[in-house]
């Protein structure tokens, strides 16, 4: 197999992985799953490090108990908790500074948004601090979704573009740019939206975002 053929296979494989990640994040109402169980910090020799590890373990265990509520869409119960298990609000506040605590804050914002309460979601998103670039991008995109829900399309487009710039994965970059262009169109800036859609198609060919941009471009042109 020559180098050109091998390169084509690698590009196709990379594109497939990007598209899978795009669908995984784009269509999940909450960022749940195995990630919740991989957030434990190793205990160190100093008390502070040991205590942080203990707090991380406690937070991870409490967060895992909320997972089933999120999976079945019982968002309000996940937010508030019950007599046996604390909810996302309590976990995020009690374990601020731990990775599981920050994940709880992100899930809290997502849950509020899923309940159709963008103001509460935006307040929660403003408390989230993530180290992973793609999760940082998810926070920015979440804020964009809240502004879009409130029909503040210029702010929404701005946050989606920031999310695209922050994301590492190309599928997410393209997806967030499509969201930004959609908001431009809703804001009456159709020429800007057309330019953005065209750029996405050119920059991210073969991606799910490019396909979505092409459909939106056709719709703006009067095609169905």
Q: Give pLDDT tens digits for 72-114.
A: 899 999 999 888 889 899 988 888 888 888 888 999 999 999 9
Q: What's the whole-model pTM score?
A: 0.74
**Does a structural domain hold residue 44?**
yes
**Does a structural domain hold residue 92?**
yes
DSSP 126: T
Indicate whether 135 and 182 sit together in one domain: yes
Indicate whether 64 and 95 sit together in one domain: yes
Q: Distance between CA atoms of 157 and 29, rounded to whole angstroms?
A: 20
**Does a structural domain hold residue 14?**
no
Please tell me the predicted confidence (pLDDT) of residue 1.
Answer: 52
**Does a structural domain hold residue 59?**
yes
Indicate whether 174 and 83 sit together in one domain: no
pLDDT, one tens digit per residue, over 5-35 is: 444 444 544 554 454 454 444 444 434 333 3
Please tell me the predicted confidence (pLDDT) of residue 132.
Answer: 87
Contact between 70 and 103 under an 8 Å Cβ cutoff? The reply is no
Mean pLDDT of 49-55: 59
Final residue before a domain boundary, out of 129, 148, 170: 129
Indicate whether 118 and 176 sit together in one domain: no
Percent of the chain with pLDDT over 90: 51
pLDDT, one tens digit per residue, over 121-171 is: 999 999 998 888 998 999 999 999 999 999 999 999 999 999 999 999 999
Indicate whether 125 and 200 sit together in one domain: no
**Does a structural domain hold residue 48?**
yes
Indicate whether 185 and 213 sit together in one domain: yes
Contact partners, residue 16, CB within 8 Å, separation at least 6:
none
Please tell me the predicted confidence (pLDDT) of residue 178.
Answer: 96
Q: Rounded mean pLDDT of the chain?
A: 79
Final residue before a domain boundary, out of 97, 129, 161: 129
Contact between 138 and 25 under an 8 Å Cβ cutoff? The reply is yes
Indicate whether 116 and 141 sit together in one domain: no
DSSP 36: G
Indicate whether 75 and 119 sit together in one domain: yes
Rounding to the nearest 10 degrees, give the CA dihedral for residues 13, 16, 20, 23.
160
Residue 46 has pLDDT above 80, yes or no: no
Please tell me the predicted confidence (pLDDT) of residue 39.
Answer: 34
Please tell me the predicted confidence (pLDDT) of residue 71.
Answer: 87
Indicate whether 123 and 34 sit together in one domain: yes
Residue 60 has pLDDT above 90, yes or no: no
Tell me, what CATH number does 216's domain have? 1.25.40.10
Indicate whether 112 and 151 sit together in one domain: no
Q: Distance between CA atoms of 148 and 37, rounded to whole angstroms?
A: 32
58 confidence band (pLDDT: 50, 70, 90):
confident
**Short-list 122, 84, 107, CA closest to 35:** 107
Contact between 168 and 134 under an 8 Å Cβ cutoff? The reply is yes
Q: How many structural domains does the chain have?
A: 2
Q: Distance between CA atoms of 171 and 213, rounded to whole angstroms?
A: 13
Instruction: List, as own/partner pairs, every contact residues 64-68 make where C-beta atoms lie below 8 angstroms and the sequence separation is at least 24, other chains included.
Output: 64/36, 64/37, 66/91, 66/104, 66/107, 67/32, 67/36
Indicate whether 67 and 144 sit together in one domain: no
CB neighbourhood size of 168 (10 A) = 11
**Short-list 121, 164, 105, 107, CA closest to 140:** 164
Final residue before a domain boundary, out of 129, 160, 191: 129
pLDDT, one tens digit per residue, over 190-203 is: 999 999 999 999 99
**Which residues constitute the domain of residue 216?**
131-224
Indicate whether 173 and 98 sit together in one domain: no
């Amino acid at each position: 197999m020559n180098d050109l053929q091998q390169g084509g296979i690698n590009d196709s494989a990379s594109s497939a992985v990007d598209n899978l990640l795009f669908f995984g994040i784009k269509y999940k109402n909450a960022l749940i799953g195995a990630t919740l169980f991989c957030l434990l910090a190793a205990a160190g020799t100093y008390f502070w490090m040991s205590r942080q590890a203990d707090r991380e373990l406690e937070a991870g265990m409490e967060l895992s108990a909320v997972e089933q509520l999120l999976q079945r869409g019982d968002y309000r119960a996940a937010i508030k908790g019950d007599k046996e298990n604390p909810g996302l609000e309590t976990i995020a506040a009690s374990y601020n500074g731990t990775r599981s605590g920050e994940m709880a804050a992100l899930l809290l914002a997502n849950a509020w948004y899923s309940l159709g309460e963008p103001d509460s979601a935006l307040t929660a998103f403003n408390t989230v601090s993530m180290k992973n670039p793609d999760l940082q991008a998810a926070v920015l995109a979440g804020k964009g979704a809240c502004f879009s829900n409130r029909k503040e399309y210029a702010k929404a487009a701005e946050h989606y573009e920031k999310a695209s710039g922050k994301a590492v994965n190309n599928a997410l970059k393209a997806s967030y740019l499509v969201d930004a262009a959609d908001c431009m169109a809703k804001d009456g800036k159709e020429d800007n939206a057309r330019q953005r859609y065209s750029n996405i198609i050119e920059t991210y060919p073969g991606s799910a975002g490019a396909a979505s941009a092409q459909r939106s471009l056709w719709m703006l042109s009067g095609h169905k």
